Amino acid sequence: MAKVIVDAQAARAIGKGAMIVFKKGVVRTEGEIRPGDIAEVYTRGGKFLGRGFINPNSNIMVRLITQDEHTEVNKELFRERIRRANEYRKKVLGYDKAYRMVYGEADYLPGLIVDRFNEIASLQISSIGMERFKFDVAEAIMEAEPEIETVFEKNTGRSRRREGLPEIERVLLGREKYRTVIEEGKAKFIVDMRGQKTGFFLDQRENRIALEKYVKPGMRVLDVFTYTGGFAIHAAVAGADEVVAVDKSPWAINMVKENAKLNGVEDRMKYVVGSAFQVMEDMIKRGEKFDVVILDPPAFVQHEKDLKRGLRAYFNVNYAGLQLVREGGILVTASCSQHVDMQAFKDMVIAAAAKAGKFLKLLEPYRTQAPDHPILMASKDTEYLKALFLYVEDIK
């Protein structure tokens, strides 16, 4: 078995519970190294730190599965980890039919994401090592939750390409089923496995439900980067007179229309297919105003080196959004970029507000991802979503 010797900084991080070893923390390797093999990690002094999947072609050199020298990485380990992760969601958090069942290293399964949507589980693998066990993982998912009839392999995106893995979308195990309807607060949503990511963004669930208490009859609401209409449908269900949903994807807008019909709010909805920046710029030129503006863009910062450019993109989006909020209105703004921490996000929003001539008051405590996307306290990598609910006033 290959050995990876790490520096003191990497060793300290692992000692605190981190489960990812970056290439920059590796001092040297010993033995034959093949992508996807199991390797052991040691300090310079020879102390055992953990065992996991290695990929010398990735910036993430090792994804640790265990820090116990006596624990083997095998099918039985995955079965037990998945069972415990599912039990945590159901018994501790109280989730039932739609939730993130496994969240990577936060559930001690780096490189594995599983979302449950009723009888369908959507599986994402971003590790070449985990790929070797995917059929075992699929079986373990169905064993942990007997109501699941379909495991859909949603293996697409940058993380797969970085690991040298092919992109695959198919039913991996069980019945050929692609669609279901989930309930979220007062709203219902169609989940289609053939959409983006795992089929639906569960991480904003509590934030979407929280929006309902701020939306009143007579209000006009703008939801930019709406995807399948998460925030937009909640606003309409809560009683808004008009909700404008914006997304560059015609497929996504068609899904918003289906979700509007499902919830009986078609008469309150308007749809715009186009670039968010251009659409908002056109609205500003027309002098449009909204009681609530929601900004939930994709991750503008994929890598740490992109931080400055990504923060500029967030600034531009928020500056435009603030110009569209009426005096005494509400801005809901979010970032799912892991490399943008809450302080940097707040500073960016404050700067955008100053340029727009606005004062902001925090309506809610700083919000983050739903608890079924648990934040492992020792791992910054598991904390990524930031959301601010802000009351907007003109500078007098």
Whether the predicted pLDDT of 78 surpasses 70: yes
Nearest to 62 by CA among 124, 105, 101, 100: 105
**Section 184-205 average pLDDT:** 86
Q: Which of 121, 156, 177 is the last residue of a domain?
A: 177
Q: State the alpha helices, DSSP H only, in the chain.
A: 8-15, 75-87, 128-131, 134-144, 158-162, 205-211, 230-237, 250-263, 276-285, 307-324, 342-356
Question: Do 165 and 19 fall within a single domain?
Answer: no
Question: Do 186 and 157 fall within a single domain?
Answer: no
Q: Which of 131, 149, 177 is the last residue of a domain?
A: 177
Q: Quick: pLDDT tens for 37-69.
A: 999 999 999 999 999 999 998 889 999 999 999
Q: Please state the separation of Cα 358 from the chain's center in Å.
A: 30
CATH number of the domain that 62 lies in? 2.30.130.10
Question: Which residues belong to the active site?
Answer: 336
Q: Per-residue confidence at 295, pLDDT binned at 50, 70, 90? A: very high
Q: Which of 148, 177, 206 is the last residue of a domain?
A: 177
CATH number of the domain that 243 lies in? 3.40.50.150
Q: Please state the separation of Cα 353 from the chain's center in Å.
A: 26
Question: Do 280 and 219 fall within a single domain?
Answer: yes
Residue 198 has a pLDDT of 59
Q: What is the pTM of this model?
A: 0.91
Q: Quick: pLDDT tens for 96-105.
A: 999 999 999 9
Question: Do 335 and 210 fall within a single domain?
Answer: yes
Question: Do 239 and 124 fall within a single domain?
Answer: no
Read off the amino acid at residue 21. Answer: V
Q: In which domain, by residue range, is 13 found?
A: 2-66
Taking the C-alpha atoms of residue 245 and residue 254, their distance in angstroms, rounded to an integer, is 11
Question: Do 233 and 330 fall within a single domain?
Answer: yes
CATH number of the domain that 134 lies in? 3.30.750.80
- The backbone torsions φ and ψ at residue 378, rounded to the nearest 5 degrees and listed phi first, read -85, -5
Nearest to 165 by CA among 174, 155, 175: 155
